[in-house]
Amino acid sequence: MQHSAPRHQDGSAGDANYGAIGKGYTSFRQPDPRIAELIEAALGEARTILNVGAGAGSYEPVGRTVTAVEPSQSMRAQRPAHLPVAIDAVAENLPFEDASFGAAMSTFSVHQWKNLNAGLREMRRVTRGPIAIMTCDPDELDRFWLHAYCPEVIAVEAARYPAIKDIAAALGGTTDVLPVPIPLDCSDGFNEAYYGRPEMLLDPAARLACSAWSFVSEDVVRRFEDRLGSDLASGRWEARYGYYRKQPTFAGSLKLIVNHI
């Protein structure tokens, strides 16, 4: 067990303070059913599921017994009424006995953990079966056109997301890395979800639901808004990237890491 590092006022345990940025999260970050199918399949036949860094409950499978762990009070409060109440705990110190769960999951969370290796070791300690982790490959973030408009945000994300090989090494056992195709109408509004809807990233509320934007300066954001807004108005974005508007899926940095003992 690890001692917990200092947490934000609302309990957020990572680098992002969801007490400040998380209030409208669920307006833009709804689980996408096609991505959910991939996660459900990765969890196998397990009936008891642990969700670490559970946030507002995205991608928690229905029809199974889910135990959710989420340190941020702001995010716990946004969980829909039909989901179980989340436990206030951190990945590095899970309050469960060894092998308590049939499977475990974590989505868009590992980059927030203070101690990645400790958190992953804890997940493996309490889980008998598969562990499914959805995250982004930091080496593939520049596939997205946002890199041309706001490289600062891409750099922030690349620095935060752990390398896939490091996740696999910490979990041990055998690991499969599955690319996750991002649908054009993806209902989960992370940055790459807007690959064919660039106007959405001009909405400050949509950006706020992507934590990387909280780490860049207001000057950087204004420059991004001015440049993208100008290119959309002039047709420059369309000329260069318009084909994305009709591309049914985007192969970006999103990955599903599935680990077995």
Question: Ramachandran region of residue 60, left (φ > 0), alpha (ψ -120 to 50) or beta?
Answer: beta
| pTM of this structure | 0.89
Q: What is the mean pLDDT of the chain?
A: 92
**Is residue 3 predicted with pLDDT exceeding 80?**
no
pLDDT of 150 reads 98
Query: Is 235:55 a contact under the CB 8 Å cutoff?
Result: no
pLDDT tens-digit readout, 142-180: 999 999 999 999 999 999 999 999 999 999 999 999 999
E strands present in 45-102: 48-52, 65-69
Query: Is 92:110 a contact under the CB 8 Å cutoff?
Result: no
Query: Is 15:6 a contact under the CB 8 Å cutoff?
Result: no
pLDDT tens-digit readout, 33-81: 999 999 999 999 999 999 999 999 999 999 999 999 999 998 899 899 9
Q: What would the DSSP string read from start to end of 230-258?
A: HHHHHTHHHHHHGGGGG-SEE--SEEEEE
Length of the chain, please?
261
pLDDT of 34 reads 98
Percent of the chain with pLDDT over 90: 85
Angstrom distance (rounded) from CA 87 to CA 101: 15
pLDDT tens-digit readout, 196-254: 999 999 999 999 889 899 999 999 999 999 999 999 999 999 999 999 999 999 999 99
pLDDT of 27 reads 86
pLDDT tens-digit readout, 222-236: 999 999 999 999 999
What DSSP element (H or E) covers 105? Answer: strand 103-107
pLDDT of 255 reads 98
Angstrom distance (rounded) from CA 212 to CA 218: 13
Question: pLDDT confidence of 1, banded at 50, 70, 90?
Answer: very low
Query: Is 109:90 a contact under the CB 8 Å cutoff?
Result: no
| Residue 132 CB neighbours (<10 A) | 25
pLDDT of 253 reads 98
Question: pLDDT confidence of 10, banded at 50, 70, 90?
Answer: very low
